[in-house]
Structure 1
Amino acid sequence: CWLRDASMSIDTLLFMKQRTAAERFIGFVKKILKSSRDEPIQIMYGIRGEQTLTEETLDHLSGYENSRPVRIGNAAYHQVQNDSIGYLMDVIYKYYLYFPGTLDEVEEIWEIIKNMVRSVKAAWHKPDRSIWEFRTREMHFVFSKVMSWVAFDRASLIAELLHKESYARKWRDEAESIRTEVYEKGWNEELQCFTQAYGNRDYDSSLLLMQFYDFIAPDDERYVKTVKAIKENLYHEGLMYRYKAEDDFGVPTSSFTICTFWLIEALFMIGEREEAREIFEKMISYSNHVGLYSEDLDFRTKRQLGNFPQAYSHLALINTAVLFSEEKELSKFIRP
């Protein structure tokens, strides 16, 4: 269970008021984080709470269409990805905002929240592997800083709800210091946009999410310029690259499906709604015969590649589809 992927999925389900799945996930989180209270919070755990997920290569298997190597486990489990806790803190905040808990439940989650904040405080100013889990590269990734801000911001909101004003004030100040640093070091004056990492010139689709998590207003000139720069440089044949910089596997050659949905939402939020709708309608046509998506799409043929079906792709599809609904309060009409 990737904490990031699971939290993003539950966030979408929470918007649709699907309480049962969210409740089970929060229970899972409580269990694993209580049992490992004195240990660093990992980016992923086994579905039974396992902490060691050793990666192995199965050389006797050829893989789908000879796509070796075939692996089990995941070597990324011990990576430092400083964005991870932000998604979880965001979904915990929303869960208890929608479904208030008992005093005992709240006290239990409060201890976990304090531990999560300690982890973020110790790590946010350090380089990491980012949302894209680079295996051989650590940098000060801008989006990791953004999600560290989210962790402190949502923790402060939770503290306010619980009338713990000293914590709320302290965590708000920490969040603001992160935002100030991102504005200073993440912005490239020459390119006129936020870039993938401090001091570099690479474009990164994850930065389209800055407004989604309320780090920056969608009408802020810096965000508008960033969206346009990312589209100009990463949009190709109706689809989006995650980034074009060389990674552990070379220069990316396929589109990462969720990134095109991120672009659609970003364009919608900055007022380019007709263009957003056009791209969305094209994306709908790229699904398979039962409306599902894989992790990647081939730019030229639109063939589905990678993990299938991919949770990322479908949560983004739902989030984007809601934007174009005539009734923006769709969730009011759906029974939990």
Structure 2
Amino acid sequence: MKNLDYGIIGNCRTAALISKEGSLDWLCLPDFDSPSVFTKLLDEENGGCFAFGVSEAYTITQTYLGNTNILTTRFEAPEGAFTVFDYMPRYRTNEEKHYMPPEIHRYIRVTRGAPKVRILYDPKINYAREAVKHDVFETYIKTYSVEDSEDKIYMYTSVDFNRVLSGEEFTLTDHQFFVLSYNQKLVTIDNNRVLLDYERTKVYWLNWINRSREYTQYSEMIKRSLLILKLMSYQNSGAMLAAVTTSLPESIGETRNWDYRFCWLRDASMSIDTLLFMKHKNTAARFIGFVKRILKSRDDVFQIMYGIRGERELTEEVLPHLAGYENSRPVRIGNAAYHQVQNDSLGYLLDVIYKYYLYFPGTLDEVEEIWEIVKNMVRMVLRVWQKADQGIWEFRTRELNFVFSKVMSWVAVDRASRIAELLNKDFYAEKWRAQADLIKKDVHEKGWNEEMHCFTQAYENADCDSSLLLMEFYGFIEASDERYVSTVKVIQENLFHNGLMYRYKAEDDFGKPSSAFTICTFWLVEALYVIGEREQAKEIFESLISYSNHVGLYSEDLDFETKRQLGNFPQAYSHLAFINTAVLFSEEKQLSKFIQP
């Protein structure tokens, strides 16, 4: 059984996935959402990879270098041993600037004997759609598309170029390096340069994570999740990606395969809360900046998701030439969900704007500009909240009066009322509070099923839905409210299976869901915790975190039976939810008053 046994490296511009055997199977250059140059992840035979071929005598182990985003893969056999250090350079050049080139460094350190290896260098440019050629120059190998010579990458290495291109076996007698760059380098690339970038990158990550809260339990796992979240934030805009991959299936052989290399605003509220709580205000502030730029660009149209630079059109396209992950077709790029009607989306946006006013208020003119946007958004919410939509789970062919969409409509108006209070706009605060109360009353009357003793997925059905576990998190209902307690227990009874949670069980556009949505199980843990079922919550949590992969990463989905990871990877929302639940079961370490962090 194949699993998502990959480590991730990145530098807040792009990222790569490297298998536990050290094979670079997924890399997009120059940015997260650019076409891939290694695509083996989505086509074993034709996708292309960059790997190290060794005999079966070698034992291969993989881990991260301490609390950094530098990945180490150790190859060990009786004849010798070597370690590959994989990273993407990232470090400060001054107070404002970061060095984060679109390139990957693979540094080989011989640790014992005379190990033998073959270099398997097989780039496939533009999602493996185009044939490539290699031209050898004095200091680098240039690989380019036969169809478009401007579509190219550069390989700098201390290994003989012919050995790289031929794949012949040779003996490692000294340390070696590979630098794969989207751009031609203007500085000399040698061992000294590679080691300097390595040390600078290591120090950057250690300094960044050192600013985080420390906990008595799960500390290393929390730090890993924070490092992954930081890696997946796009420095140039502040956007946070849902995942760095596309088309990893929610279920093997099915068609629930989507491109997640975009920014969903529904993640914003939890993202900001978590990053602020963990003392990473700058990362949170950049994301707030991304949201503000979106709002200012067109204040009459709001989407559920955007490109990482704020793009609004994310046209979906199928790549029929790729076999898909374990032959799960189709492979898609782009995501048609961007034009869906989801009435919950403005709730997340206004929750983020409320945090902007609390923590990051700008100049007076900016505050006034955002206030105008808030008023416009409230008008839109009040115009549409009673209408059907496609909901948090992005149904493609149906619209219903989803209860969670109504809840998030309440969140939108509630946060707007709070913003008005902060600005001493009492007229708006009172007016919107009254409207929020009407929405809440409607949900309690139409969303509650007395026979089931549970809030249901939609006004039109009696289905259970995991999203309703978030009603307490967003402040719609108290944890002690009998209706919420009963809802949590009924949802658990209906959707909890083999230690994991369904999003919902009812058939959707593609049939009945067959995998567990990782974040929903974290939501259940939090819900059980707040209603007082803490021992049960801890038991489920301990089982769930055992399903992370070999380096502590979480995907979007899990198989109910085998617990293999499925869906896009790593999933930012899963890591956020892990942090939010882990801190429930641990105490923060308190530094001595004589020690400064």
Question: Normalising by structure 2, what TM-score?
Answer: 0.54
Q: Deviations over 1:216-271 (max 9, x none)?
A: 00010000000000000100101000000001111011000000000000000000
Q: Please name the residue that 2:418 is paired with.
A: 157
More moved, 132-141 vs 112-121: 112-121
Q: Secondary structure at the residue paired with 2:419? A: helix
More moved, 8-17 vs 264-273: 8-17
**What are the within-5 Å matches in structure 2 for residues 240-279 of structure 1?**
240-279=501-540
**What are the within-5 Å matches in structure 2 for residues 172-211 of structure 1?**
172-211=433-472
Shift in alpha-carbon separation, 1:150–1:55, aligned structure 2, 3 A: same
Q: Please name the residue that 1:5 is paired with.
A: 267
Q: Which runs of 5+ in 2 are unaligned?
A: 1-262
Among 21, 29, 32, the residue aligned to 2:294: 32
Shift in alpha-carbon separation, 1:167–1:144, aligned structure 2, 3 A: same
Q: Please name the residue that 2:372 is paired with.
A: 111
Q: Retained in 2: the 8 A contact 1:185–1:199?
A: no
**What are the within-5 Å matches in structure 2 for residues 75-224 of structure 1?**
75-224=336-485
After TM superposition, give the deviation of residue 48 of structure 1 in Å: 2.1
Work out the CA distance in 2 between the residues paired with 1:240 and 1:114.
Answer: 38
Q: Post-superposition, which runs of at least 4 consecutive aligned residues in structure 1 deviate over 6 A?
A: none
Q: Please name the residue that 2:77 is paired with.
A: none
Shift in alpha-carbon separation, 1:329–1:300, aligned structure 2, 3 A: farther
Residue type matched to 1:12 in 2?
T
Alignment partner of 1:19 is 2:19: no
After TM superposition, give the deviation of residue 89 of structure 1 in Å: 1.3
Tell me how many residue pairs correspond in the alignment.
Answer: 331
Work out the CA distance in 1 between the residues paired with 2:429 and 2:268.
Answer: 26
How large is the RMSD of aligned CA atoms in angstroms? 1.8
Work out the CA distance in 2 between the residues paired with 1:258 and 1:305.
Answer: 13
Residue type matched to 1:221 in 2?
E
Q: Retained in 2: the 8 A contact 1:322–1:328?
A: no
Shift in alpha-carbon separation, 1:127–1:292, aligned structure 2, 3 A: same
Calculate percent identity across the aligned residue pairs: 79
Q: Retained in 1: the 8 A contact 2:268–2:352?
A: no
| Structure label with greater radius of gyration | 2
After TM superposition, give the deviation of residue 20 of structure 1 in Å: 1.4
Q: Retained in 2: the 8 A contact 1:43–1:84?
A: yes
Q: Please name the residue that 2:549 is paired with.
A: 288
Work out the CA distance in 2 between the residues paired with 1:98 and 1:328.
Answer: 25
After TM superposition, give the deviation of residue 104 of structure 1 in Å: 2.7
Work out the CA distance in 2 between the residues paired with 1:218 and 1:27.
Answer: 33
More moved, 118-127 vs 131-140: 118-127
**What are the within-5 Å matches in structure 2 for residues 288-327 of structure 1?**
288-327=549-588
After TM superposition, give the deviation of residue 17 of structure 1 in Å: 3.2
Alignment partner of 1:49 is 2:310: yes
Shift in alpha-carbon separation, 1:6–1:67, aligned structure 2, 3 A: farther
Shift in alpha-carbon separation, 1:17–1:105, aligned structure 2, 3 A: farther
Residue type matched to 1:138 in 2?
E
Work out the CA distance in 2 between the residues paired with 1:32 and 1:91.
Answer: 12
Q: Secondary structure at the residue paired with 2:381? A: helix
Q: Retained in 2: the 8 A contact 1:8–1:87?
A: no
Residue type matched to 2:282 in 1?
T
After TM superposition, give the deviation of residue 122 of structure 1 in Å: 1.7
Residue type matched to 2:446 in 1?
K
Residue type matched to 1:85 in 2?
L
Residue type matched to 1:275 in 2?
Q
Q: Deviations over 1:303-322 (max 9, x none)?
A: 00010000110110011111
Question: By percentage of residues, which structure has more strand?
Answer: 2
After TM superposition, give the deviation of residue 327 of structure 1 in Å: 4.3
Work out the CA distance in 2 between the residues paired with 1:258 and 1:233.
Answer: 17
After TM superposition, give the deviation of residue 114 of structure 1 in Å: 1.6
Q: Retained in 2: the 8 A contact 1:9–1:311?
A: no
Work out the CA distance in 1 between the residues paired with 2:481 and 2:404.
Answer: 17
Q: Retained in 2: the 8 A contact 1:22–1:95?
A: no
Q: Deviations over 1:8-48 (max 9, x none)?
A: 3233212223221222122222222212123x211112222
After TM superposition, give the deviation of residue 207 of structure 1 in Å: 0.3
